[in-house]
Chain A
Amino acid sequence: SQTIHQWPATLVQPVGSPLSLECTVEGTSNPNLYWYRQAAGRGLQLLFYSIGIDQISSEVPQNLSASRPQDRQFILSSKKLLLSDSGFYLCAWIRKANTGELFFGEGSRLTVL
């Protein structure tokens, strides 16, 4: 079956510390993968998307970066977190080709103190 896993589920980090959020997809190959961020009570902001290994597109300038070292692995990173990086980070992949329908993971909640 097709599933998407994110970890950690929750994370509390001090300002200036590094970040690594991981996303893994199972049951599919060569998926288009996405990282979205959702601030408290807000909508979903697209951060990065990837159409293949080492192919990353950035949608907004920020201190975050993304990498795709393997076909089904998508990593969101930061060298130094800011308070404004707090939020709910969602990984997603396109489940139905030619539609854009995204299937989301359960999310990783990041609190930067």
Chain B
Amino acid sequence: GESVGLHLPTLSVQEGDNSIINCAYSNSASDYFIWYKQESGKGPQFIIDIRSNMDKRQGQRVTVLLNKTVKHLSLQIAATQPGDSAVYFCAESFSGNTPLVFGKGTRLSVIA
């Protein structure tokens, strides 16, 4: 069936470096994508979202890139900090009328 998946299950980066977390999706009808951050023992927290009519969106230290041609989504974190250590999930939906479908998650570990 349709699904959202991730290329890398784990990622280790040095503090201060940039992080890139990737996600592949297969439902070409999806028009809304979200990145969530989940710290240990807590619920996922919204980081940034992007609609399918955009290919890039920037937030504070984070950038989401959407490539609809290859159905690829990425989250870039600039100057990664120890507090960024968490599991990151991408998720997709169609017109907000379908429940979010989540990828399996990537664990980001920041090395001080």
Contacts and interface: CB of A to CB of B under 8 A. Distances in A.
B50 to A, nearest CB: 11
Interface of A: 34, 36, 42-44, 46, 49, 59, 90, 92, 94, 96-107, 109
Interface of B: 32, 34, 41-46, 49, 89, 91, 93-105
A107 B91 CA distance: 18
Given A44-B44, A90-B43, A90-B44, A102 B96 contact: no
A43 B103 contact: yes
B89 A44 contact: yes
Nearest to B94: A100
B94 to A, nearest CB: 8
A59 to B, nearest CB: 8
The 10 closest A-B pairs by CB, nearest first: A100-B93, A104-B43, A43-B104, A100-B96, A98-B96, A44-B102, A99-B96, A107-B43, A104-B44, A106-B43
